[in-house]
Amino acid sequence: MMFSQLTESLESTLKNLRGQGTLTEENVADSLREVRRAFLEADVSFNVTRDFVKAVKEKAMGSEVLTSVTPGQQIVKIIHDELVQVMGGETKEIALSGKPPVGIMMVGLQGSGKTTFAAKISLYLRSKRKKKPLLVAADVYRPAAIKQLQVLGKSIGIPVYDEGEGNPVEIIQHGYEYAEKNGFDVVIYDTAGRLQIDEKLMQELEQAREAVHPEEILFVADAMIGQEAVNVAQTFFERLNFTGVCLSKMDGDARGGAALSIKKITGVPICFIGVGEKPNEIDLFHPDRMASRILGMGDVVSLVEKA
């Protein structure tokens, strides 16, 4: 496991530090290199890693070496706290205060998990927030995308609005009107996957947004995404000003460093994580757990906390 790897390598670079009093530029240089490598291996973007390591260095400099923990653990703790802070202290909840039906639009790359998240969020809002959601099938491109949403909707008893083939912007508009007329208080639009460089399809999303002004636009990213996360998230953000991020496939063993990059680059909070394929396999995002995961560690934090 990474935990042992990072902490062990930190231990070896710092083993002589015990009893030295303070962490200094010289005595932490090696360990910061280890940290950098761990971040890159967790898929944190290169630039975010660099800035982060710099920030950690400044924090670490001059702090006293605790006697109760090893210096390696102490540095991990500093990084962990910084990570939690950057990834956004509080847990974000979906905004439901607008005039009903409140719109939520799912956007993202192909295969990132939008359709699954649409179903998961509808179920979550019904069971946890006592809402009456409608799902709208606006992916007319991918084979059987509509059917996929219908099957998911049926399995959880949530209605799905669809028009078969057609124009996605109109389907979204009509879906909104249908929700309004039929007493739904939340309407979730599933859209087709697209590349952020696909001009035509990006415009289509902008038009959809103009048509129904959703309260939330949720950018769905695969937890396994690599350095590209930054390019993708940045462009989606510039075009659509998405309001929340969902991370899918967190039940895998990816370290999920993209979560940090996306938050850092866009400033938009992460709200949900997907932890399985079934509609109930959704969790709120917890920055502290994510921080431990990116660092690939389990219990260092509580260890230092106790110290």
Partner 1 sequence: MGLFSAIKKGLQKTREAILGEIKGIAGQGKVTDEMLEELEERLIKADVGTSAAFLLTDALREEALGKSLSQNEVLDILRSEAERFLVDPPKFEFKGNPHVFLVIGVNGAGKTTTIGKLAKKFADEGHKVMIAAADTFRAAAIEQLEVWAKRSGAEFVRHAEGSDPAAVAFDACQAAKARGCDVVFIDTAGRLQNKDYLMEELAKIVRVLKKIDPSYPHDMMLVLDGNTGQNAINQAKIFHKSFPLTGLVVTKLDGTAHGGSVLSIASSLKVPILWVGMGERIDQLVPFNKAEYVDGLFKE
Residues in contact with ligand GTP by CB under 6 A are 108, 110-116, 139, 142, 145, 192-193, 195, 220, 248-249, 251, 274-277
Q: Which helix (H) or strand (E) holds 237?
A: helix 229-240
Task: Single out the residue of 6, 23, 32, 42 in contact with partner 1 (rule: CB under 8 A).
Answer: 42
Min dist. Cβ of residue 197 to ligand GTP (A): 10
Could you give the string, one character per residue 154-183, with x where binding to partner 1 holds by CB under 8 A and - elsewhere? -x----------------------------
Out of ligand GTP, Mg ion, partner 1, none, which partner does residue 275 contact, by CB within 5 to 8 A per kind? ligand GTP
d(C-alpha 225, C-alpha 80), whole Å: 21
| Radius of gyration for the chain, computed over Cα atoms and rounded to the nearest angstrom | 22
Q: Which residue matches tokens 């400033």?
A: 267
Among 98, 6, 42, 101, CA closest to 260: 42
Site string for Mg ion, 97-136 (x = CB under 5 A): -----------------xx---------------------
Structural contact between residues 61 and 28, judged by C-beta atoms closer than 8 angstroms = yes
> Residue 48 Cβ, how far from partner 1 at the closest point, in Å?
11
Residue that has been written with the tokens 């940290």 in this structure:
35
Dihedral sign, Cα of residue 213, residue 218, residue 219, residue 220: negative
191 binds Mg ion (CB under 5 A): no
**Nearer Cβ to Mg ion (159/298):** 159
Residue from 79, 105, 254, 297 touching partner 1 (CB under 8 A): that is 254
The separation between CA 87 and the C-alpha centre of its own chain, rounded to angstroms, equals 9
> x/- string (CB under 8 A) for partner 1, residues 75-114?
----------------------------------xxxxx-
φ/ψ of residue 125, rounded to 5: -70, -35
| Least gap, CB of 300 to partner 1 (angstroms) | 21
Residue 278 DSSP code: S
Minimum CB distance to partner 1, residue 43 (Å): 4
41 near partner 1, rule: CB under 8 A: yes
Does 284 contact partner 1 by CB under 8 A? Answer: no
Interacting residue with partner 1 among 73, 196, 243, 292 (CB under 8 A): 196
CB within 8 Å of 297: residues ≥ 6 apart: 2, 3, 6, 7, 76, 80
CB count within 10 Å of CB 77 equals 19
When CB distances are held under 5 to 8 angstroms depending on the partner's kind, the choice from ligand GTP, Mg ion, partner 1, none that residue 199 binds is: none
Binds partner 1 by CB under 8 A, chosen from 82, 163, 228, 283: 228
37 binds partner 1 (CB under 8 A): yes
CA distance 244 to 107: 10
Q: State yes or no: residue 266 binds partner 1 (CB under 8 A).
A: no
Q: What's the DSSP call for residue 305?
A: H
Residues 248-287 contacting Mg ion, CB under 5 A: none
Do the bridges between strand 216-222 and strand 244-248 make them parallel or antiparallel, or are there none, so unpaired?
A: parallel
User: What is the smallest separation between the CB atom of 114 and Mg ion, expressed in angstroms?
Assistant: 5
Residue located via tokens 């370290």: 255
